Amino acid sequence: MSVEAAASHSGSDSGSAPRSVRVLVYSDDRTTRDKVKFGIGKRPERDLPPFEFVECATQYAVLKTLDAGGIDVVILDGEAVPAGGMGVARQLKDEIYQCPPVLVLTGRVQDAWLATWSRAEAAVPYPIDPVALCRTTVQLARQRLAATTD
């Protein structure tokens, strides 16, 4: 989905199907974005709405998409170039009002402390374990949906 399409997404009307869970996936590497989308899937849990992925390959696209609103979970590649996901996460937490929960993909398990520095709510190390990625993303989506319905 393009940034323009993401900006025009307005959720659901009262008479339509439940809105989707919108997940922003940031990486400069298309293969990494594809692995994330495949690992989570379009319907990871039956009690949640379908997941819709918004792909971003640049830091600018991430900021523009989040400024437009409507994102429920953010997944950032900590190994992205030139702007790594941990630095982007910290910027988002500083600049985006009611920033959605952030999951950072770290280079290794030992880098989890860096994700804490970035203020990300969760971290999953490389190589990407689809089960851990899906479980963590679902948990963040549930937290976000609960917070937005209160």
86: CATH = 3.40.50.2300
Q: How many domains does the chain have?
A: 1
Residues 73-110: tens digit of each pLDDT: 999 999 999 999 999 999 999 999 999 999 999 988 87
Model confidence at 15: pLDDT above 70: no
Domain-embedded: residue 85: yes
Q: Is residue 64 part of a domain?
A: yes
What does the pLDDT read at residue 113? 83
Domain for residue 7, yes or no?
no
Does residue 78 belong to any structural domain of this protein? yes
Burial (0-12, 13-18, 19+ Cβ within 10 Å), 2: exposed
Q: Would you say residue 33 lies in a domain?
A: yes
Boundaries of domain holding 127: 19-149
Helix 130-149 / helix 30-40 crossing angle, nearest 10 deg:
70
Q: Is there a domain that residue 77 lies in? A: yes
**Which of 58, 57, 27, 22 is CA-nearest to residue 40?**
22
